[in-house]
Amino acid sequence: MSHATAVLVFRILAGCSYLVMLTSPSLNIYRVYKAKSVGVQSIFPLVSLLANSHIWMMYGYLAKIYFPVFSCFLVGDFAAAIYLAIYYRYSNNRGYVVRSIATTVVIIAILSAYAIVGGLGYTNQSRHGASTVLGFFADIASLCLYCAPMEKLFQVLKHKSAVFINLPMVLAGYANNIIWLTYGSLIQNWFMISINIFFFSMSTFTLVLYHIYDPKTHPLKDGWDTNNSEEDDVQLQIAVDPSDADKGKMNFNLPSPQYEAMRSPIAPARID
C-alpha cells in the first residue's frame, strides 16, 4: 500500500470513527428527553463538545485539512448545539445553563475572530502560523472534553470495582484514538499525534484498571454510596429534662439586700 493510499484510507476511517463517537451523548440526551428532566447529567461534557468541535473545525479550515477535520467537526458543531438545546429545554437550572453556554460561546467567538483576522493576514502571521496557534487551543479543548469522564477512574480506585467504567465506550474510544494517531502520523501532524498519544495512554490505563477490578470478581459492596465517616454517623444530642433541672436547684430564700437601721449596743454600767 502506497503512502497516498494509506492516507486516504485512514482519512476516511478517522472521519467515520469521529462521527460514530459524536453520537455517544445521544443516549443520555434521549433519556433526558424521555424523562423531561436532566437528572444528574452534567452540562460540562456538552459545552466541551461544542468548544472542541468548533476549534478543531477552525483549525481544519486554516490548516486546509477539509476532510476529515473541517467537515466532520463542523457536523460536531451542529450536534453539540442540538444536544445543548434539549438540555436547556429540560433543565431546572436554566440560569446556570445559560451562563455555561455563554462562557463557552464567548471563548469560541474570540478564537473565531482570531482565526478570521489571522487567516486574512492582519496579525502579521501566515495562515500556517495562525493554524498553529489554534492547534494548541484545539488540544486544550480536547483535554477538557475527554478528561471529563476520567472522574470515574477515581471512583474505581476508591471502591475497588470497575463497575463505573463503560467498557464498550472505552473500547470505541480506544479504536478511535488508534485511527487518529495513525492518521496524524501519516500526515505528520503533531497536534493530532500528541493529543492522541495521551488519550491512547489513558484508555490503556482504563482497560488495565478494568482487568484488575473486573466487576464480575470485584462487585460493589453494600452501602458504597453512603458516607461512613464518623463525623457524619455520630450525632450528639443533648436533652435537658426540666424536672431534673429543677431538682438540681438549691432553694436559698435569701432576703433582698436592703438598708435596715440597727440599734446601738447597750453600754455596760459603770460603778464609780
pLDDT at 221: 80
pLDDT at 230: 41
Report the pLDDT averaged over residues 199-208. 92
Higher pLDDT, 226 or 66: 66
pLDDT at 1: 73
Q: List b or e across 208-241, with b for residues whose CB sees 16 or more CB atoms inside 10 angstroms.
A: ebbeebeeeeeeeeeeeeeeeeeeeeeeeeeeee
Asked whether 90 and 38 are in contact (CB, 8 A), the reply is yes
Domain spans, the chain? 3-212
Query: Residue for cell digits 465506550?
Result: 169
Report the pLDDT averaged over residues 101-107. 97
pLDDT band, very low/low/confident/very high, at 166 (cuts 50, 70, 90)? confident
Residue 197 C-alpha cell reads as 498519544
Largest CA distance in the chain: 152
Distance CA 15, CA 8 (A): 11
Mean pLDDT of the chain: 84
pLDDT at 226: 61
pLDDT at 227: 52
Report the pLDDT averaged over residues 107-130. 94
Residue-wise pLDDT for 12-61, tens only, equals 999 999 999 999 899 889 999 999 999 878 899 899 999 999 999 999 99
pLDDT band, very low/low/confident/very high, at 232 (cuts 50, 70, 90)? very low
Report the pLDDT averaged over residues 185-203. 95
pLDDT band, very low/low/confident/very high, at 228 (cuts 50, 70, 90)? very low
| Residues in CB range of 43: below 8 A, 6 or more apart | 84, 87, 91, 96, 97, 100
pLDDT at 233: 43
Distance CA 64, CA 128 (A): 9
pLDDT band, very low/low/confident/very high, at 78 (cuts 50, 70, 90)? very high
pLDDT at 116: 94
Most confident of 92-96, 147-151, 159-163, 225-229: 92-96
pLDDT at 89: 96
Higher pLDDT, 40 or 206: 206
Q: For 268, which DSSP code?
A: P
Phi-psi region of 234 (alpha: psi -120 to 50; beta: other; left: phi over 0): beta
- Check whether 271 has a pLDDT greater than 70: no
pLDDT at 153: 85
Alpha-carbon distance values, 213 to 121, 159, 171, 175, 220 (Å): 54, 9, 17, 22, 10
Residue 85 C-alpha cell reads as 438545546
DSSP string, 22-90: HTTTHHHHHHHHHHTS-TT--SHHHHHHHHHHHHHHHHHHHTT-IIIIIHHHHHHHHHHHHHHHHHHHT
Distance CA 47, CA 105 (A): 9
Higher pLDDT, 150 or 179: 179
